[in-house]
Amino acid sequence: MTAKTALRLDIRNALARPKDSKDKQLGIAPQHGVSQAQLESIAPALETAIEEIKTQRRFSAKQLAEFRIRGEDLDLGFLDQPRLWLADSKTLAQLKHKANQLARMAEIFIVAGIGGSSLGARVLFQALTHPYHNELPRRQRKNRPRVYFEADSVDNDALTGLLDLLPKRKPANLSEAFTINVISKSGRTLETAAVFRILAQRARQVYGPDYTNYIVATTGSSSASALRKIAEAEEIASFEVPDMVGGRYSVFTAVGLLPAAVMGIDIEQLLAGAADMTRKCLSRTVNSNPAARYAAVHHLLYRKGKTIRVMSVWAKALEHLGYWYDQLLAESLGKDGRGPTPVTSVNTRDLHSRGQQHQQGTYDKAITNVFLRKPLREELVLPATKDHSDGLDKLVGKNLHHLLVAALNGTNQAYRFDDRPTIDIMLAGLTPYALGGLMQMLMIATVIEGKLLGVNPFGQPGVEAYKKLTKKNLGLS
């Protein structure tokens, strides 16, 4: 599989029909859609944005530090992470060895992190493992542990519920053991630090002096990282988050790769998909560059008042992809009174709720459909029955995916007839390679869109403000 075959981007349902035409088969109304002339007019700005990214990507650490002092983060390190990991076989082998060790040691694996320290791994877990992974017997999980995510809030009852699953004394066997991967670049994120204290306390209670063997930290390389200091002081194994990779862009660092490897995901294929997509998005002309076209269409739609960005996924396994993109888009572009508002929709479930508003509500939405060309598992077909009252006899022998595709096409037709722009992203399959390519494409597109919008897609000053005031309210500042 290549980057070209793994992912196909189709913008036709976002294009405007000719101004003198009323034929809705030719596109949507010009005030709601993007014309070819508009796409051509934005091409020079796209080329400039891509060249800026390529130039800034080569900046030295000193140059990047100078920008950071001015409050202009340029955390483009995510672009090179897939290539660097694949080239460094020794470090990759060390990460996989530790992941396999964690998998063998325990029945429960806890990912403790918030935002970019958690969402990417959640995407990989939901999309690339069995839908009921945690409910399967260990043998059917290929001897991989059950996976739980915490430290993404300070919800007392949620954490108490997780603690109910953990032993209170030294486990008699592997089926009661647990391990923890605590993830925080700074080590000072309130939610993660607070929850980790409680989880570490349980680990000490259960494992005694050996408790550090059951914990791995993923944190910044700098001595400014509080978690780095803890890991070094207590001799906890650790992996680094590179300085020039922001949290929401960190899925292809140890932040996402270590949990993925514990889950048994093929991380080489994940990285290969991302590396191939990087080459495609930074070395091709605009017309054959999916990140540039995705950013261009959305930017033009934003200028037409489409300020709500809906990621409409057509597989339950992709729901957390939407939540991951929510953070990526909101924290990257929601600045200076600008930026689209992201929403995640899972179909066909949400067609029976917010789908009504998407089709006939305010004209402020741009919808991206993400769907699979074919299902991953055995294709279930509708059987014949003696009772014909459900009206489905004509569909006997048809598979469920056939119904899903019909719903997708019907929804796109309905939206087009009501002048609602949609973009389609089709994945050839839900594989590590395809998902790696898609996530990297969305990250690159977000950076390009930030440049088109005139905002810095790195840093999150609003989030930092809430953190500072929360700590002040707690008497910690």
Closest by CA position to 75, among listed 443, 325, 340 = 443
CA distance 288 to 291: 9
> Residue 111's beta-bridge partner residues?
149, 181
| 3-state per-residue secondary structure call for the chain | CCHHHHEEEECHHHEECCCCCCCHHHCECCCCCECHHHHHHHHHHHHHHHHHHHHHHCCCHHHHHHHHHCCCCCCEHHHCHHHHHHHCHHHHHHHHHHHHHHHHHCCEEEEECCHHHCHHHHHHHHHHCCCCHHHCCHHHHCCCCEEEEECCCCCHHHHHHHHCCCCCCCCCCHHHCEEEEEEECCCCCHHHHHHHHHHHHHHHHHHHHHHHHHEEEEEECCCCCHHHHHHHHHCCEEEEECCCECHHHCCCCHHHHHHHHHHCCCHHHHHHHHHHHHHHHHHCCHHHCHHHHHHHHHHHHHHCCCCEEEEEECCHHHHHHHHHHHHHHHHHHCCCCCCCEEEEEECCHHHHCCHHHHHHCCCCEEEEEEEECCCCCCCCECCCCCCCCCCCHHHCCCEHHHHHHHHHHHHHHHHHHCCCCEEEEEECCCCHHHHHHHHHHHHHHHHHHHHHHCCCCCCCHHHHHHHHHHHHHCCCC
Of 360, 454, 451, the closest CA to residue 414 belongs to 360
Q: Which residues are catalytic?
A: 331, 352, 467
